Amino acid sequence: MIALFVSLTDDDANTCLVILASAGIFCQITGQPDNWTVSVFPENIERALVEIESYFQENREPPDEADDWSGIPHKIYTGIGAALGLLAGHIFMIHHGGIPIFTEKYGASASAILNGEIYRTVTALMIHANSVHLVGNMAALALLFTVVCSVQGFGVGSFCLLASGALGNYATALLYRSAHLSIGASTAVFGAVGILISHQTFSGFRAVGQRFRAWLPLGGGLCLLGLFSEGEHTDILAHLFGLGSGMAVGCIFDFLVKKPPGLSSQNLFLSLTLAVILLSWLR
């Protein structure tokens, strides 16, 4: 008999034994623990190699698309950190004039935004009317922001989320023109939903035989819009524009970027995001 594989571990030797036995190829295993040799008859060498190669090709784990997009840091603290930031801001506002004062100066007033106070499209995302409003958006942001960062990275994801929320507020202002004031991170939350819809849709279109399923995320997003846009004080149009803005931002990202930017780019976009937030509050 001729040695086919040498110096195999216990697991590898057992795997070869099972593969060859199931193919009806007689083999012999000799050696000692973690140093096994698998031998076959000369006339079976080619067939044995084909069987083993076929086995590993069929059982190789398919590349996880999420892993392809997550070769950069995106720990769960991204979403939790953003949620805690909302909480810290809410506490600060309560103890420094109260929510009504900040709403008047920094809320998404349609007329003020169209008169040049663009910073309100950003600052309004961080103002909440009460604890119920705050906790709901904190929970949604903690989950969805983490998922967005797993797709785009912590820096690019932060920038895209902020951009979708701000664009949603601006689009709402364009519609109402005047006599409209909104606050809360829900526009950005639905922006995150839109970003994820775009990513899943693009992924579906790239996969062979998945074109029909590629549209399912859009249906799911619209269902979420209807489910979480009920209530007397809920601004459904702001949610809708947030969703649309997120989808637009997500489409641009998925169309232009084939794989996530590296760490230096992530840090750059995170710094840019924080700078936009800071400058918006400083007006």
Q: Do 124 and 189 belong to one domain? A: yes
| Single pTM value for the model | 0.68
Q: For residues 117 and 181, state if they share a domain.
A: yes
Residue 49 lies in a domain: yes
Q: Where are the alpha helices (DSSP H) in the chain?
A: 10-22, 45-59, 65-68, 77-95, 99-106, 110-114, 120-123, 131-152, 154-176, 186-206, 216-227, 236-256, 263-282
Do residues 54 and 182 share a domain?
no
**Which tens digit of pLDDT belongs to each residue from 92-124?**
999 999 999 999 999 999 999 999 999 999 999
Residue 37 pairs in a beta bridge with 30
Inside any domain, residue 79: yes
Radius of gyration, alpha carbons of the chain: 27
DSSP state of 228: T
Give the domain CATH number at 12.
3.30.70.1530
Task: Answer yes or no: is pLDDT of 67 > 50.
Answer: no
Quote the mean pLDDT of the chain: 81
Across the range 240-252, mean pLDDT stands at 90
What's the rounded Cα separation, in Å, for the pair 18 and 269? 52
Task: Write down which residue in 34, 59, 84 finishes a domain.
Answer: 59
Examine residue 67 and state whether it is found in any structural domain, yes or no.
no
- 171 and 241 together in one domain: yes
Residues 43 and 98 in one domain: no
Q: 22 and 113 share a domain? A: no
Does residue 41 sit in the same domain as residue 172?
no
Count how many domains the chain has. Answer: 2
pLDDT band at 205 (very low <50, low <70, confident <90, very high): low
Domain end call among 11, 26, 59: 59
Residue 6 lies in domain: 2-59
- In a domain, residue 65? The reply is no
What's the rounded Cα separation, in Å, for the pair 238 and 186? 8
Q: In this structure, are residues 266 and 154 in contact, taking their beta carbons and an 8 Å threshold?
A: yes
Provide the pLDDT for residue 215: 45
29-33, 130-134, 213-217, range with the lowest pLDDT: 213-217
156 and 275 assigned to the same domain = yes
Contact 168, 245 (CB under 8 A): yes
Distance CA(82)–CA(124), nearest Å, equals: 15
Confidence of residue 25 (pLDDT cuts 50, 70, 90): confident
pLDDT top residue among 126 and 206: 126
Is 50 inside any structural domain? yes
Residues forming beta bridges with residue 108, ordered by sequence position: 182
Q: Kindly state whether residues 34 and 76 are assigned to the same domain.
A: no
66 or 183, higher pLDDT = 183
Phi, psi of 184 (to 5 degrees): 115, 155
Domain final residue pick, 35, 59, 83: 59
Q: Flag the least confident range among 8-12, 64-68, 83-87, 139-143.
A: 64-68
Residue 258 and residue 150 in one domain: yes
**Average pLDDT over every residue of 59-66:** 50
Residue 65 has pLDDT above 50, yes or no: no
Same domain, 51 and 77: no
Tell me whether residue 66 is in a domain: no
Residue 264, domain member (yes or no) = yes
More confident residue, 204 or 151: 151
Same domain, 132 and 204: yes
Would 181 be classed as within a structural domain?
A: yes
Question: CATH number for the domain including 203?
Answer: 1.20.1540.10
